[in-house]
Structure 1
């Protein structure tokens, strides 16, 4: 509890609305969970870093700006290595941890933190607590950067985008079927948002999850693969791996949870 409180106090949010919806609390919990699950998460972190560097190396020319969505907790980002390939790296997220802000200060003028609600819906939700109109959901805006990025990466955040908005709306009694449709639209809108940059993109995301009991027997699972139908026809699968996100002992009852992660380039 004390560790999570320390992370909570050190996390900065894009707006009071983001804090109200629970993004700061969630980021603090994630930081604390990372320490508990460090060994189990390390293969995933290493694979994420390797995938980003491989994608960046495919660019025809080095330099310019890299934009990384989901950079608020940068433990899975190879910043030092990316700076050998880009002149500047912009981290974009709705919250930034103390550790990430400290990390960015190592490279003044070259690494920046851009506070941004990539869904474009958080202010609406905080004020009205009802599902936003389709036009707002489907057209999240791009931040104004000093230069158009040469490469954009969305890192381990695509399927997370609906979670906090849906939790916020569920507490007000919104119908489950409406929440599911809303969440799907947020995921699809993010894929459109990435494509709209019209630059090479790297998407790292979970595509399914599985829950096991203490004996290793499968209890349940969810398949998110159909949501990727929104990817451009030119998108190609570059890598995939399993992430033990809740190793045995982390979940109640001694069970565990895993995610299947894929890397797509387009």
Structure 2
């Protein structure tokens, strides 16, 4: 607990990230990652391998962008730093241990960008315009990654286990005080998840997506207790690889059950926008 408090206090973040609980969640993930290092090792290795495949396909270049950089445990930073002139790590929260790890490697060409990539605020704005004008469709599409398109020389974009978290974060904001539940459409969470995929597919550079798409809670007899679709009905792109990730092993939250996530890796995301 003292280590978690120290990380929380040492990690700069926007006030909105503190209010939403994003900083608290990031610290909790950091702590769980340390406790569950053995259980998470295969998932992290396979995520890095998927990203290494994308890096090798590009061969290097000007700029690489990592969406949802998080703890960097699943990101092959050494390869990115060696092959690209600039690496941009994008997340709502960059914890102090992560910043110190990058600083310690003297990667001066690695930048931290603090940003909400969910598209939630854009959807709120579009919904307000629709309500004010009485139009159900105001035209255009949600484009939460437009900021990437405005960057110069982007050769590679990695979406690092962040897609499902867009849905989790959106649900929390919808339920919270001032969460716009009455303003936003009923399928708001699904729209945000779809928008990330569409925006990623719309980039002109090489892309790679790794995300969990569902989870199951099972007991020690392997009986199913609960199953959840983390993409809220949105079809995932065709996977190039697929595996399971024991996010919550036995004993982490309950001695009698565990939560196992299904993960996919997609090289060069392509989806049908019709």
TM-score (norm 1): 0.84
Distance change >3 Å, CA 183–CA 115, structure 1 → 2: same
- Write out per-residue CA displacement over residues 93-143 of structure 1, whole angstroms, 9 at most, x where no aligned residue: 111011211122223432111111112435998xx9xx8778798232415
> Does the 8 A contact of 1:88 with 1:111 survive in 2?
yes
1:186 to 158, 183, 192: 192
| Counterpart Cα distance in 2 of 1:237 and 1:189 | 18
Equivalent residue for 1:259? Answer: 261
SS at 1:96's partner residue?
A: coil
Distance change >3 Å, CA 228–CA 100, structure 1 → 2: farther
SS at 2:187's partner residue?
A: helix
SS at 1:251's partner residue?
A: coil
- Write out per-residue CA displacement over residues 41-95 of structure 1, whole angstroms, 9 at most, x where no aligned residue: 1111111111110121112x42221100011321111111222322221111111
Task: Indicate yes or no: 2:210 matched with 1:207.
Answer: no
> Does the 8 A contact of 2:81 with 2:107 survive in 1?
no
> Does the 8 A contact of 2:7 with 2:97 survive in 1?
no
1:249 to 236, 248, 251: 251
> Does the 8 A contact of 1:122 with 1:165 survive in 2?
no
Equivalent residue for 1:5? Answer: 5
* Structure 1 residues not aligned, in runs of 5+: none
Counting matched residue pairs gives 254
Task: Indicate yes or no: 2:203 matched with 1:197.
Answer: yes
| Counterpart Cα distance in 1 of 2:129 and 2:190 | 14
| Counterpart Cα distance in 1 of 2:129 and 2:223 | 42
1:101 to 99, 102, 115: 99
Distance change >3 Å, CA 67–CA 174, structure 1 → 2: closer
| Counterpart Cα distance in 1 of 2:119 and 2:226 | 32
Equivalent residue for 1:39? Answer: 38
| Counterpart Cα distance in 1 of 2:149 and 2:242 | 32
Q: CA deviation at 1:208?
A: 1.6
> Does the 8 A contact of 1:67 with 1:90 survive in 2?
yes
Root-mean-square deviation (CA), in Å? 2.8
SS at 2:27's partner residue?
A: helix
Task: Indicate yes or no: 2:142 matched with 1:138.
Answer: yes
| Counterpart Cα distance in 2 of 1:120 and 1:159 | 13
Distance change >3 Å, CA 189–CA 132, structure 1 → 2: farther
| Counterpart Cα distance in 2 of 1:124 and 1:196 | 18
Distance change >3 Å, CA 53–CA 104, structure 1 → 2: same
Of 131-140 and 142-151, deviating more is 131-140
| Counterpart Cα distance in 2 of 1:179 and 1:218 | 32
| Counterpart Cα distance in 2 of 1:253 and 1:198 | 47
Equivalent residue for 1:150? Answer: 155
* Structure 2 residues not aligned, in runs of 5+: 131-137, 269-274
